[in-house]
Amino acid sequence: MIKVCILAGGSSYEREVSLSSAEEIYSNLNHNKYTAEILEIPKETSTVWIKKLLDSPPDIVVSALHGGLGEDGSVQGLMECMGIKYVGSKVLASALCLDKYISKTIMRANHIPVLDDVLIKNSSDLNISKDIINDMGYPLVVKPNIGGSSVGISIVKDFSELENAVNEVFLLKDHALIEKFVSGTEVTCGIIENESGLQVLPVLDIKTARNFYDYNAKYKDDNTSISFSSLPKFLQAMIHEISKKVFLLLNCQGYGRVDMIVREEQIIVLEMNTLPGLTSHSLIPKAASMESGGFSKFLDALIEFEMKK
């Protein structure tokens, strides 16, 4: 039996999503093949969980951590130091992809279409960038630079709303990333790495009654529609190729998810997720469920690939 440890919880504001992801992973593992346990990392700084790993090291770790130290390469680096195998991207890719501004800068330099943006560092004067922001034109999207699960995202129509939204992000102890709002079809594409290369999961269309795919639409609304993409086949093929290019460019490993928006046959990359949500409402499990074997087979493939390295 392969001993699997699922890391969950942590100190980020995505803690509850992480705990839900861990439960979904645990319930979908083949318990005839794995002995699994969920190891909850507390909100407060603690080394107790690290001692547990050292005292009884697993064969492999599957991380359900989202945001913060769990997704920025810190926990990945700790696993490397402890000599414990773990599923997913390693230190460099984890750090790069969690920082939206840095990862977009890399993609832009490599001719991958991304949205125009301005980064406002925490507690800095927004007025310094006012002319650049006005040139982008409203409406604009304001989001935490390293946050996930669409927490703290706002759509703003003027400078007054922008100031309020930026200050809300600052309260999350993050920098504010301001982007041009673009309407279109929101899509996502999951990727899994195996011995033969990269396998892309089905492209999914995301439809919600809300203004955008926010936290409630992701994790609470039952009427959010996630379906096989209705986009033309040539666009889906382009999405597959762009997703693979982004995955390789940012040095990702194991699996990930690329979020995009399609407008008038133009594909724009929003972000690369190295530890996407794996709850029952999340996109990767939904995409995997549309494939033969479902989410359980997806987890099997991830673990088996990492164990062979």
| Catalytically annotated residue among 14, 71, 174, 186 | 14
271 in catalytic set: yes
3-class DSSP string for the chain: CEEEEEEEECCCCCHHHHHHHHHHHHHHCCCCCEEEEEEEECCCCCCHHHHHHHHCCCCEEEECCCCHHHHCCHHHHHHHHHCCCECCCCHHHHHHHHCHHHHHHHHHHCCCCECCEEEECCCCCHHHHHHHHHHHCCCEEEEECCCCCCCCCEEECCHHHHHHHHHHHHHCCCCEEEEECCCCEEEEEEEEEECCEEEECCCEEEECCCCCCCHHHHHCCCCCEEEECCCCHHHHHHHHHHHHHHHHHCCCCCEEEEEEEEECCEEEEEEEECCCCCCCCCHHHHHHHCCCCHHHHHHHHHHHHHHCC
289 in catalytic set: no
Q: What is the pLDDT of residue 196?
A: 86
| Catalytically annotated residue among 28, 63, 103, 149 | 149
Q: What is the pLDDT of residue 218?
A: 47
273 in catalytic set: yes
Q: What is the pLDDT of residue 262?
A: 96
147 in catalytic set: no
Q: Which residues of the chain have pLDDT under 70?
A: 148-150, 208-224, 292
152 in catalytic set: no
| Catalytically annotated residue among 26, 86, 219, 255 | 219
Q: What is the pLDDT of residue 4?
A: 98
230 in catalytic set: no
138 in catalytic set: no
Domains of the chain: 2-86 (3.40.50.20), 95-113+183-307 (3.30.470.20), 117-180 (3.30.1490.20)
